[in-house]
Structure 1
């Protein structure tokens, strides 16, 4: 139904006021589940080359899967950069070096994702470690010593077989430049595997991916 012409000016003012209102900020702790993102370190080191983090790539014992992050998620979308302390103590990054070798990554993950968890920095990164330790890495990735190939479905199957209760609709493989990048696994707030169809649907659609091998 059309508005009478005499109230058009008032409607325009009200519309302008509503448009000018700031978006509601994401509230810490208000989310539905977590995504644990595990990056295949050899892909990062290969693609970044001389620009790669030396603490991750120029090491005697090469990293394989490392934690990219533990991300609070909505059923659609995700919160980010919530209110709360932005800085964390360096000792936290030092304590995560075995699974998150970049201090810069630790600090960034806290600012963007950890602040939305509703947890303290210590508790958030303790939970991140628990999530990492919950996932069993398939033996093929633990033994890989030369460049290989696999489809995203094959990677997911390997993780499914190694982790009872983890289904195909609870994870997604990501890729970049035709190479295996990450496996993203969905977890409840108490770290149980759970379905996440939007995350699953966002996975890599390539038929085959190269899987770089760790290099010394």
Structure 2
């Protein structure tokens, strides 16, 4: 038997209001609602839909958010730490400086999102995907992107220490000034990526990777040599 759907439009729901809605065991659709600063920690919001919602500094700590859908939401500094976000879908959302520490992100996806400064420390991420997304300054340490097609991902200034990009294909995006200590790029195709800021001391990390003649010339110039 399918669950009924309840749509909440234009409200500013607090925790008590959301808990009341959850008593109906319905799929909740929040349209243009403002949850800014609300405490929604540990609530069971599985299958809920959030459209054009405000969630700045909202706490979703350890919330059950599997299969949720987030469309054009603004959730700067929101706390998703330890939340269950398996199969969640984020599209065109502003998630700058949000925390995902220890969250379950298996099979979750981010499309055309802003995740500048986001913290993905110790997340569970099998099947996690990003596309056309800003990850500038994000903490992505020790995550694996092996054999993935990376479309339009901006890793500028991101902490990619210990990440695995072996055999990955970059389609646009870039690694400008990213932190790449112990990062692996063996067999990666970097021809369409912005490699600005790559230092000679990091060159060995790219052994076996493919770059373009233009990128090669830029790297040589960065070494202080002239290309004639």
TM range, smaller chain? under 0.3
Which of the pair is proportionally richer in helix? 1
Q: Larger C-alpha radius of gyration, 1 or 2?
A: 1
Higher relative contact order (CA 8 A, sep 6+): 1
